[in-house]
Structure 1
Amino acid sequence: MGKGLAMVKMVACATAALALSGCQRDTLPIDFDVCMVKAESKSACKDLLSFSVHGETSMLARTPYYSLEEKLGAFGLRLAEIAGVPSYLRNGKYEVSVITAIETPDMAFNRYMSLPELPVNKGQGSLVVLKESDRGETGTALLMSGDGDKRILFFCTKPYRATAGNLVEDTGCTVRAELQRYVFIEYPIRYQSLRNWQEIHRTVVEQIGQVMLIKRTLKD
């Protein structure tokens, strides 16, 4: 497996593990504010994201206010099991990582494309395989929507031949998508479910909207 996509996958998994370990569960509203520019106080912030998580959650303790500056902020949500979304579930819940970052989809796309992997540019249903760590059935692959939408990317472990020679097709993918300006989400789906990714993504976003509200406030 190539180092580049393997590292991306490792970071995604580490983010999810960090966000969902040592965390608190609560059904009461959890409100906090994240300033996207340097500001010591909420009142002085020129670009503020206000989060209100009002469903069942599992997340690290959050301070009421903090300035993100150029750091990465992440927390996890555990949604109710989503009917019709085949994926890896934890304790009967669907885990989603929510990430705040000073980055645009173009910036993220260029960062991932700069990894020293093998270029592909091959269609796979409604998706396009952009890069892979190894040719053939081994390694990892980076995919995006065939319409060129850079707001959603797929990091997948490709099907591979097991020691006994049988093809293991039940591998996994991490979906990374822009939810709104400065806010990204990551969640897992099965490799074989990629053909239904539009419906799955729409359902996941709807579920997130039922438990989390985000308001952006800009000041002159």
Structure 2
Amino acid sequence: MGCKHSAPVSETESNSKEYGPIRDIVGGDAASKSYPLVGPEAIMKKKTHGTYIKPVQSKLRYGCDFKTADNICNHNRHLAEHFGYFTSGPRRRAFNKAVKEAKAKNKSITFFDSNTGLPLFTAPRGRSWDSFLNESSKHGWPSFRDAEVNWENVRCLRKGEAVSIHGTHLGHNLPDSSGNRYCINLVSIAGNPDGIDDTKEIMLYTDSAN
């Protein structure tokens, strides 16, 4: 017996500008204090380009390459970029430059969805840059805590997969003794805000890092 595939979701249902229909199905209350917010499997329903409606942005931040990003974000539910990807090759210089600039301003960095450009994570929050970087380097992927997740746009599925509400595969929740730890692919959070496809745009900083 062949596999039965769900009908593709229309662009109207999934487009990042059409918040209403999407937010009707994602589940969870972004104002909740109980994390992670759990969403339904329907978030990752087949759409017109894998789990989203089109490929990732063509010019991603931090030196991330398009092919790797599109495969992981839109055509994958389990695999990840290789261990240490975020600090190897061209990513090392680009990521370190962004961090250096943020640290000099005592600011956090907001990381955006590589598909939609919506804000997904802001780090560090409630800890120092050194704490965030040391933990991420130890595990091999950017590692975020509950307070660093933008729950308006992120959900976890029942088996721990972390996803954007529009269908971007992000990584997994791998809890440790300190609580939830969201182990996230850099290629999934290297987008430009609001879909602006321009890597020259100035880095967006947020509140103080501590």
- More helix by percentage: 2
TM-score (norm 2): 0.29
TM-score (norm 1): 0.28
Larger radius of gyration between Structure 1 and Structure 2: 1
- More strand by percentage: 1
